[in-house]
Structure 1
Amino acid sequence: MKPSKVYYEPEVLEYRLGKELQDKYKDLPWIPIENHNNIEELRTKENTEFQKLKTLLILGTRKTHKYSPNYKVSDYLVPFTSSGCTAMCLYCYLVCNYNKCSYLRVFVNREQMMERLIRFSMKTETEQVFEIGSNSDLILENTITGNLPWIVEEFIKKGRGKLTFPTKFNMIEPLLGLNHQERVIFRMSVNPQYIISNIELGTASLNNRIEAVNKMAAAGYPVGLLIAPVILLPDWQKMYLELLDVLEEKLSQKVKDTMFLEIIFMTYSFIHRSINHEAFPEATELYDKELMRGRGMGKYSYKQDLREEGEAFLLKEIDKRFGKDKILYFS
């Protein structure tokens, strides 16, 4: 991904990464801003401009560093080197948080964030797992910043515990030769190819995602798959059967033997509906009032009976192919 423009807080040029990015993108327009969190020029854009906003790169420094306890794959969610994304998944939860300003923001004070993470990891009573990719896709970000090899190597040398992050991209080559000591858990999000093509816009194909997770497992990384989000379109059973068949056929034996599965059902919102209708008028409609119920704060989730049907179906079909013990949780 090459950005169309760079918006930047002037202080980012005092950091090594900021200087590197200034040189890398010196042929692009650079527009100074006061605060990456509130760019008036962008915040007031119409929803129809959403796709253009996704081509921007915003540079700033991360000023909030609160770790949130988590009880799934990781023990803590760690605000880290980026937020937002260039992809345009029609259900993206970051759109709920940032509205149409869910474009990619990179924070150049990576050394400060890493030092804090290392200190925190050394103070915990037991080794913890730190989720560093909950607000962005670090494989995508790495194509811009080259941060990931540095992050892995620094944490392995000085920190304690493990790192983890999910992705929908396949540009994993910079990670394959690292001395990760099996302390970096790589998680690949998968969905039927129809959903990837029509709903997860701008992300890697299913085949490319499978190839990437096979390579990461071969390189010794612990791996997991997220079947996420499960979207109950009219032919959802057929689509997810096809997905599981493709996974059974194309995942390496090492992945099948060692992986875990996270299964997450889609949450949608009125913000998604508003942006999608205006920015993607021909896109698949994800809201169905017959299938969904309100979930507070303008969000929708699937009705309980339908959700239970989906869980039972996936549990049965996964058990046939991989064993139900591979399922870490439903959410």
Structure 2
Amino acid sequence: MDDADPLLASRLWRPKRVIVTRSALAWEHGRGIVERAAALGLPVEELASDRLGIGDLGYAQAKSTLAIVVAPPGKLRFQPIAPSADWRIDLAEGCPAHCSYCYLAGSLKGPPITRAYANLPEIFAALPAYLGQGKVTSRSRARAHEGTTFEASCYTDPLGIEHLTGSLAATIAHFGEWQADAQLRFTTKFASVEPLLTLAHNGRTRMRVSINPPAYARFEGGTAPVAARLQALRRMAMAGYPMGLTIAPIIAAEGWREAYAGLIANVAAALDGAPDPDLTVELITHRFSPTSKAVLDSWYPGSALDMSAANRAEKRTKFGSVKHVYDKPTMTELRGWFEAEIARALPAARVLYWT
């Protein structure tokens, strides 16, 4: 694989509007984001207060807006994020991509702008209190070697905005020098990993790529091509990072076996010859809630993504809300096929979970 193939160049987000709050400017990291945006020729609007004034933004305007803000106190009280990791840490909230299955549609309130957090030192200072306290890897015999795990891509794609924020590199460097039994994790649909390749990560950050067959790429607008993501995976593996695949959302459309078999074969080819990629796999099927479906239908009215009741069952979450997941026969067929195919094509990979 040619690591310099220009046809696989990543797509870098260039927001049309960048705003920064007064409090964010008080942080060195916040000022650094402003400088990065300005260096790219993006106009930056400095607000006189901490009020963003975005209540009437439509989807297109919101998706092209970056707000540099201070993470509120609630973001410094980390939440469990099973089955991925022990704890969720948010470096930002919101994503510049246009995925017509986006789960953030039912999770985040208000216009879908991207908020990048300026107060990284406060986020880092909150980490030690959570060591050994999680219930996913901290107390798992199978994954205890990962230490306490912190997931950085629950409410954002940190690599998709890294050229503007520098937050992911700063967090990887922090974990790399932190003398603790802990690991950072992030997953991405982007491919511009250049700023991360030379960091002293010390094997304490697992980079995962979120992938689907190229045939389903029409549901992932504004992201890097799947081939570029796999190239990025190889480059990170060559730089010594532990690796992972997030195959999500698994879509049981016509021809799914052939499509996903080709995808898994492409992963094997991308990692061929890479030194001990320590590869994990997370398998997440497509699901949606009535709330997220309504939002996504308004955002992407022409999407061909099937969100009908066919082959679906209702699942109650621990909070009492409803999600529509594939029915049991479909789930059983999907799971059996994926586990067998991964074992065949990627025998060294570890499947962490199916959901």
Q: TM over 0.5, yes or no?
A: yes
Unaligned runs of 5+ in 1: 43-48
1:14 aligns with 2:26: yes
Task: Name the structure 2 match of 1:280.
Answer: 300
1:173 aligns with 2:201: no
d(CA) in 1 for partners of 2:348, 2:327? 24
Structure 1 stretch displaced more, 101-110 or 267-276: 267-276
d(CA) in 2 for partners of 1:39, 1:110? 24
Unaligned runs of 5+ in 2: 1-12, 139-143
Task: Name the structure 2 match of 1:28.
Answer: 43
1:312 aligns with 2:336: yes
1:55-89 alpha-carbon deviations (Å, 9 max, x no partner): 111221111122223444422222x2201100011
d(CA) in 2 for partners of 1:172, 1:325? 22
In 2 relative to 1, CA 258–154 (structure 1 residues): closer, same or farther, beyond 3 Å? Answer: closer
Task: Name the structure 1 match of 2:108.
Answer: 98
Task: Name the structure 2 match of 1:260.
Answer: 280
d(CA) in 1 for partners of 2:132, 2:353? 28
1:86-132 alpha-carbon deviations (Å, 9 max, x no partner): 00111111111125633311111111111222454499999412112
Task: Provide the secondary structure at the position in 2 that maps to 1:268.
Answer: coil
Deviation of 1:23 after TM superposition, in Å, equals: 4.0
d(CA) in 1 for partners of 2:292, 2:256? 21
d(CA) in 1 for partners of 2:80, 2:186? 15
Deviation of 1:259 after TM superposition, in Å, equals: 0.6
d(CA) in 1 for partners of 2:264, 2:300? 29
Deviation of 1:302 after TM superposition, in Å, equals: 1.0
Kept in 2, the 8 Å contact 1:118–1:155? The answer is: no
Kept in 2, the 8 Å contact 1:90–1:272? The answer is: no
Task: Name the structure 2 match of 1:52.
Answer: 61
1:1-331 residue pairs with structure 2 within 5 A?
A: 1-25=13-37, 28=43, 30=45, 32=47, 34-35=50-51, 39-42=54-57, 49-63=58-72, 64=74, 65-78=76-89, 80-98=90-108, 101-118=111-128, 120-121=130-131, 127-160=147-180, 161-196=182-217, 198-254=218-274, 258-296=278-316, 297=321, 299-323=323-347, 326-331=350-355
Task: Provide the secondary structure at the position in 2 that maps to 1:91.
Answer: coil
Instruction: Output the TM-score relative to the length of structure 1.
Output: 0.87
Task: Provide the secondary structure at the position in 1 that maps to 2:274.
Answer: helix
Amino acid at match of 2:104: L
Kept in 1, the 8 Å contact 2:185–2:206? The answer is: yes
Provide the aligned length of Structure 1 versus Structure 2: 322
Kept in 2, the 8 Å contact 1:100–1:275? The answer is: no
d(CA) in 2 for partners of 1:100, 1:298? 21
Kept in 2, the 8 Å contact 1:88–1:201? The answer is: yes
RMSD of aligned Cα (Å): 2.6
Task: Provide the secondary structure at the position in 2 that maps to 1:69.
Answer: strand
d(CA) in 1 for partners of 2:305, 2:133? 47
Amino acid at match of 1:188: V
In 2 relative to 1, CA 293–255 (structure 1 residues): closer, same or farther, beyond 3 Å? Answer: farther
In 2 relative to 1, CA 279–148 (structure 1 residues): closer, same or farther, beyond 3 Å? Answer: closer
d(CA) in 2 for partners of 1:163, 1:73? 11
Kept in 2, the 8 Å contact 1:85–1:104? The answer is: yes
In 2 relative to 1, CA 100–199 (structure 1 residues): closer, same or farther, beyond 3 Å? Answer: farther
Amino acid at match of 2:17: K
1:195-234 alpha-carbon deviations (Å, 9 max, x no partner): 12x1111111111011101111111111111111101122
Task: Name the structure 2 match of 1:45.
Answer: none
Deviation of 1:298 after TM superposition, in Å, equals: 5.1
Amino acid at match of 2:214: Q
Amino acid at match of 2:207: F
d(CA) in 1 for partners of 2:201, 2:128? 16
Amino acid at match of 2:332: E
1:265-322 alpha-carbon deviations (Å, 9 max, x no partner): 1111334433443433332132121122233535311111111111112122222212
Amino acid at match of 1:59: I
Deviation of 1:261 after TM superposition, in Å, equals: 0.8
Deviation of 1:328 after TM superposition, in Å, equals: 1.6
Instruction: Output the TM-score relative to the length of structure 2.
Output: 0.82
% same residue: 24
